[in-house]
Amino acid sequence: MIVHQAAFEGKAPLLKGNLHTHTTRSDAISSPETVIGQYAAMGYDFLALTDHRLYNYQNFAPESGLLILPGMELDANLPGPGCHCVHLVSLGPEKERGNRFEQDQAFESLSVSSAQEALPLVRAIEEAGNLPIFCHPEWSGNTAQEILSLPDISLMEIWNSGCVVENGLDAHAAYWDEVLCAGRRMYGVASDDGHHPYQNGLGFVKVRAEKTPSAILDALRRGAFYASCGPEIYDFYLEDDKAVLFCSPVEVIRFRHFRVPYVERRGNGIMGHQTAPVKGTNYIRAEVMDAQGRMAWTNPLFLDEKYWQRAKK
Ligand SMILES: [Zn+2]
Ligand SMILES: [Zn+2]
């Protein structure tokens, strides 16, 4: 029996998109028109303009052919020296599909004494029919426990181009493993969060969906996507007692479960690998790195009781 990770099921196209973008509507240097044009020229299918505390549906450059996914970024500041906060991207469907936020609706920054107290932000996002994404935990000075203290979050950034380029912070995926190991079904997103043109186009998602906001949102909720900075993932599935990955030519393929040493294959232009998940682990995910050092990450395959019973036979 073969169980595919949701990104590799069904006939819908794999759309390329960026879920976290800034423009002159908040603190970035390029206008919405310029940013949309830049992503369209790079071959993206969709883009969310997630300026700080300012909701957007509008396609400022409709001739680009790019689909705009409605969204914004909200934040809550936490006490303590240095940077300590919770940032959440909010992504929603079309207005007529139940999105309760308005174009240009503005929000305040919250001040809270613990990450858990940012829960009203998560609730406000959900009650408006939107999907929250926990942003850049390493940049925000978060712990994995802070992510886990927000019960309904099921997507988080594991790569944020702005944080990597500006701050050298590329360890967001480490938080992901800790959260997954604690039993949370969490999907990993790569996004740009660009404030300058040179930060745009470095990290993206490939989503298995038709090209409408509600279809993309539904696929994100189901984990029907993968995250990448370049390499393509062709398939990731469980077959009997093995996890199997196929991808574009890369130099490194790793399978990861937290607290189990990872399985790695290295080679020139390798395009696949397989492994038997270690008994008792609750998920397995794969990541790859190409000759330019660019990564891609599958979402996890969750290994529940049923899986382990089947694998025993
Ligand atoms: Zn942020
Ligand atoms: Zn941002």
Walk me through the domains of the chain, giving residue ranges and CATH numbers.
Answer: 11-228 (3.20.20.140), 233-312 (2.60.40)
Cα 289 to ligand 1 centre (Å): 26
Task: Give ion ligand 1 contacts, CB < 5 A.
Answer: 87, 135
Phi/psi for 160 (5° steps) reads -135, 110
Burial of residue 151 (number of CB atoms within 10 Å: 0-12, 13-18, 19+): exposed
Cα 91 to ligand 1 centre (Å): 14
Cα 143 to ligand 2 centre (Å): 19
Coil vs helix vs strand at 87:
strand
Cα 55 to ligand 1 centre (Å): 15
Tens digit of each residue's pLDDT (9 = 90 or more) over 24-42: 999 999 999 999 999 999 9
pLDDT at 240 over 90: no
pLDDT at 259 over 90: no
Ligand that lies nearest to the alpha carbon of residue 52, given by its number in the listed order: 2
Summary mean pLDDT of the chain: 95
Residue 228 in contact with residue 234, Cβ under 8 Å?
no
pLDDT at 304: 85
Tens digit of each residue's pLDDT (9 = 90 or more) over 100-115: 999 999 999 999 999 9
Coil vs helix vs strand at 22:
coil
Per-residue confidence band for 308, with pLDDT thresholds at 50, 70 and 90:
confident
Ligand that lies nearest to the alpha carbon of residue 195, given by its number in the listed order: 2
Tens digit of each residue's pLDDT (9 = 90 or more) over 65-94: 999 999 999 999 999 888 999 999 999 999
- Whole-prediction pTM: 0.96
Ligand that lies nearest to the alpha carbon of residue 20, given by its number in the listed order: 2
Per the structure block, which two tokens stand in for 97?
């599909």
Tens digit of each residue's pLDDT (9 = 90 or more) over 199-224: 999 999 999 999 999 999 999 999 99
Cα 172 to ligand 2 centre (Å): 15
